[in-house]
Structure 1
Amino acid sequence: DAREPCALEMLSCHVDDDLARVLCASAVLAVPFLVRDECLGFALVVSHDDAYHFSNHQLRVAFGIADSAALALENARLYARSRSLGMAEERIRVARDIHDGIAQGLTAISLHLEASEQIFDSKPEKAQAGLRRALELTRDNLEDARRSVLDLRASALQELTLADALQHRLTQFAKEGASRPVRTSFTSESSGGRASSRLELSLYRICEEALDNVARHAGATHVDVALRRVGDTIVLQIADNGCGFDVDEVTHNCKPGGKFGLIAIRERVRLLHGTLDIDSTSAGTTLRVAAPFEGQWRRESTATSTTTSSMTSDRVLNA
């Protein structure tokens, strides 16, 4: 049995002479490396004395060494497995960041360039403003790409709190369309300290994705974003008065390899150990994310801002 130790004294009596010469030994003690009844290998203790006998003390020492070696081998195996899983999780993170940040940024750049090209001759000043905005987005996108590679906070979160970054993003959202006016409002409980980088980045990306879905599909004229603390839970809510959608149908059709929007939101919420609730009717959609708070939060004030601008609508599901 490979799981049992084996002592062979007077080796030449047990194996052929050629093998004995290869081992250069007269006596051999083989002790298995066992982990949960699985043999990972053997430790060999050899002696060149013709009449050697392994003592009980030597057996105990050999067993102890084998146990330590087995533990080290198992740890190495588990570490290799965890690295493999970590690489898979890292690929998922990069894919989310590409979709949630870089891809959306490139889409916005493309829209600004196309719009500027169309009005370049008739409205050169407005076209120049669009080109300047495209240049700003290009720089922001390059910064976000660098931060994605380094797994840092999004550029908007480097200098701003989560609440300020969300408000800034909502203001950008209201300015980046052109076909219909959109009123946006933001409500937040201020925090005296920063939440964890993971929590802030996830909530920021979730809000970005939700706003992108509103712009593409909802045809909304009003969007509300709220960030608040409820006990030990932080809650992010995005509500619009658009045309809504069938939540069950979109959720059912949300498969890997297909549309990435709702998949990305659901995956981020899952990694936060939070909950995602989507209520959608013909009068509008409310997306609510609740997650355990990580970090310090001190209620200081409630701030509300309202801005009006315009955006385009395209009724194509992105979830």
Structure 2
Amino acid sequence: MAKQRKRPSDKRKLSATEQQLRAANQQLEASNQQLRASEGKLNAMLRSIGDHISMIDRDLNIIWANEATKKMFGDDIVGKKCYEVYHKRKEPCEPYPCLTLKAFQDENVHEHDTEVMGKDGKIIYFHRIANVALRDTEGKSTAVIEISRDITKRKRTEEMLQAANQQLRASEQQLKAANQQLQASEQQLKATNEQLRASEQQLKASNQQLQASEQQLRATNQQLRANEQKLLDDQAQLKSLASELTLAEESERHRIATELHATISQSLVVSKLQLDTLRASVPSRDIAGTLEEVCNSLDQTIQETKSLTFNLSSPILYELGFEAAVSEWLTERIQKKHHIATEFEDDGQPKPLDDDVRVLLFRDVRELLINVVKHANANKVKVSVRKVGSEIHVRVEDDGWGFDPAEIRVAAVKKGGFGLFSIRERLEQLGGHLEIESAPGHGTKATLIAPLKKEKINDGVKNER
């Protein structure tokens, strides 16, 4: 049977289809170029970040590392085991599973402080965050990203703080010993007076001894006053240093979060919108399916970048204010993530805050809520914010186990922990204080009190300073 000739209408359809395919390929190439440009921007950003960033697969092999990581551990670390490069071990880290494997298992964000060794053999302290970075087509995690920040200076500062605290305790013991010495001197004076009454010669000798003792007492008192003043000066310096460290850390976290949102997140969103548009116009199901997978991957990356940005620093705190940031964190991080019922209450009054007060107060509220999740076993937590005179009062209350505040203070001193002590010290440095109401079995109420931004009056008009 002779072959049928193609009709002109069929040729025109084939020609139109070919033109559509060529147009789709051109759009796909343009999208790929944009993706490569975004990838270049992402790589440039990762290279410019001072933090140490690497990706690790399920076999604990390093599959990618930024320039800061290679500079510290060597240019040849890709392909090697992470425990060999960072910890100079032959076996995986203990306790097992390590932070990276936990991220693969539960796909949650994990962070801790760890000790590593650089290529020059020096010990370095890192604060490390691990989170799932890559997934296969079935949604199974294939790589974990680790972001490590060098906290060696902070560790050294903490060691200096501990040494200073030990010196303070030693000075207190010296003060106690000096007081005991004073009591002994008083007893000696009484004995001397009895000897004075017994003999005139002994009286003269005792008077000389008394004068010498008085001089010694004056010298001791002067030394005690000098030691006391030094203790007060050291304490003020330690509080100021701790506050500056906290503000510096929050400032850096906010800077990194802002850069992530303004560059990487925006580029990823634009790329996804363009790919969605392209996918809708492509007639081929295979190409459309591939583009859909790329879009899903981009969407996952956008969500992870957004989560990372919020973990670093809440943009709501700087854009909408303290109350809005606390309300959002309470809902998103406590209720949705940990399934604890929450309630937020605001008296609606304006509560202007200085920048450092707003940042540190938000950090303290966040630490109290994290303590509720970790230790309280609570079913509900409530945060209330109100203006009282020239102060802001922020109360965090839960219906959990509760505790004896006196026992917590003693335990913190024995174990060398910070916790509520750090919150109390930061508030006092700002001119505020912390109030704790709790008892075993009756929940906990923690009230943060801090000064509002002062106001001044110019030409009869009240302005915020």
TM range (shorter): 0.3 to 0.5
Q: Which has the higher relative contact order, 1 or 2, with Cα contacts under 8 A spaced 6 or more apart? A: 1
The structure where strand makes up a greater share of residues is 1
The structure where helix makes up a greater share of residues is 2
Q: TM-score, normalised by structure 2?
A: 0.33
